[in-house]
Structure 1
Amino acid sequence: MNRIKEIRGQAGIRQRELFAALGWTQTRLSNYEAGRRVPGLAECREIVRALNRLGATCSLDDVFPPDLPMEAAAA
């Protein structure tokens, strides 16, 4: 799960602005936002850098929260 769309929306960044800043297609970004594709670490870092350049204040963990530990998920 990622929070690309949520953080982008909170910062008032349009999807068009983000995919242009990344140099990607709208389809590629949309697939990542919807969870249809999972970005690799390099792409995750690119997304976070672009979000920050466009005015969001976020970290890698904000946009791509780490999974809960197995013990917490089982509780």
Structure 2
Amino acid sequence: MNKISHARKKAGITQFQLAAALGWNQSRIGNYEAGVRTPDLYSCRRIVEVLNSLGVECSLDSVFPSKNQLKQAEHIKA
């Protein structure tokens, strides 16, 4: 599970706008957000780089948390 949608919404931009900033099609961002496709490491880094350039203060780990980070977050919520 990634948090692209959350970070993108913090920037106040649409999937189309994020995709355009990356030079990609909107469907690619939509597929990543829906979990239909999983971005490779290079793509993850590009997404974070562009989000930061658009004013979102984020990191690779905050947008693409590891399974352990997700488990810890679920444990804390319980």
TM over 0.5: yes
Give identity over the alignment, percent.
55
Q: Normalization by structure 2: what TM-score?
A: 0.83
- List structure 1 runs of 4+ shifted beyond 4 angstroms: none
Partner SS state of residue 67, structure 2:
coil
Name stretches of at least 5 consecutive residues in structure 1 with no aligned partner.
none
Name stretches of at least 5 consecutive residues in structure 2 with no aligned partner.
none
Partner residue in 1 for 2:9: 9
Aligned residues: 72
**Larger RCO: 1 or 2 (CA < 8 Å, sep 6+):** 1
Q: Contact conserved, 1:48 with 1:63, CA < 8 A, in 2?
A: yes
Partner SS state of residue 57, structure 2:
coil
More helix by share: 2
More displaced, 7-16 or 37-46?
7-16
Partner SS state of residue 58, structure 2:
coil
Cα-Cα RMSD: 1.8
